[in-house]
């Protein structure tokens, strides 16, 4: 049974996902995360009135910049996550994933979609994106993942916002974010 607060949070997430959204400005720059082994980038998501309403958070391992991910954040909660890692091992789904029509394991590149996690989040005190499903095999780059995700979350990506991708070698040595 969902608490009133959790129900309101989930309703707000549903409304956010249904509403038209755009990205604020040009693609973000990758920044060195000083305390970890990752690089990160943040792109503000604007609602139909042009007000900040969410974020796309990107992360990449410094040691393997092909291992990247993006998360859609709203109200401080992750609503969707895509993990790209062609070379990694398959990931297990929870034992009850079969009830959602999901496989026991998914490829290393996969998504944690709102539509398959919503009911679980509604029933929990925590906010985990527990369930995974494969993404199309041809999606190998971060920019491709963003363009694939956009219509699912009602996000318009402008022509000047295409081409955002994982960090390159120069980003590994950029200390401008310090």
> Is position 55 within any domain?
yes
- Which residues form the domain of 13? 4-173
CA 70 from centre of chain: 4
> Is position 86 within any domain?
yes
Encoded tokens for 24 = 């604020």
| Model confidence band, residue 70 (pLDDT cutoffs 50, 70, 90) | very high
Determine the angle formed by the axes of helices 114-122 and 4-18, rounding to 10 degrees.
160
* Residue 10 host element (H or E): helix 4-18
User: For residue range 95-143, what is the model confidence (pLDDT) as tens digits?
Assistant: 999 999 999 999 999 999 999 999 999 999 899 999 999 999 999 999 9
> Is position 159 within any domain?
yes
pLDDT at site 49: 97
Query: How much of the chain exceeds pLDDT 70, in percent?
Result: 94
- Quote the number of domains for the chain: 1
> Is position 178 within any domain?
no
pLDDT at site 175: 46
> Is position 100 within any domain?
yes
Examine the pLDDT at 74 and tell me if it is beyond 80: yes
Encoded tokens for 59 = 């992360």
Least confident span in 17-21, 66-70, 129-133: 66-70
CA 26 from centre of chain: 18
| Model confidence band, residue 178 (pLDDT cutoffs 50, 70, 90) | very low
pLDDT at site 65: 83
> Is position 35 within any domain?
yes
């Amino acid at each position: 049974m969902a608490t009133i607060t959790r129900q309101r949070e989930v309703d707000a997430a549903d409304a956010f996902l249904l509403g038209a959204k755009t990205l604020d400005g040009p693609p973000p720059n990758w920044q060195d995360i000083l305390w970890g082994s990752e690089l990160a980038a943040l792109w503000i998501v604007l609602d139909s009135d042009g007000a900040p309403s969410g974020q796309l958070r990107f992360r990449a391992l410094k040691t393997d910049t092909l291992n990247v991910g993006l998360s859609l954040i709203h109200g401080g909660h992750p609503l969707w996550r895509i993990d790209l890692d062609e070379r990694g091992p398959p990931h297990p789904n929870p034992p009850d994933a079969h009830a959602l029509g999901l496989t026991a394991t998914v490829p290393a590149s996969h998504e944690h979609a709102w539509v398959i996690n919503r009911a679980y989040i509604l029933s929990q005190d925590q906010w985990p994106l527990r369930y995974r499903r494969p993404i199309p095999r041809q999606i190998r780059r971060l920019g491709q993942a963003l363009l694939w995700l956009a219509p699912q979350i009602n996000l318009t990506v402008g022509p000047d916002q295409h081409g955002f991708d994982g960090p390159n070698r120069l980003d590994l040595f950029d200390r401008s974010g310090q």
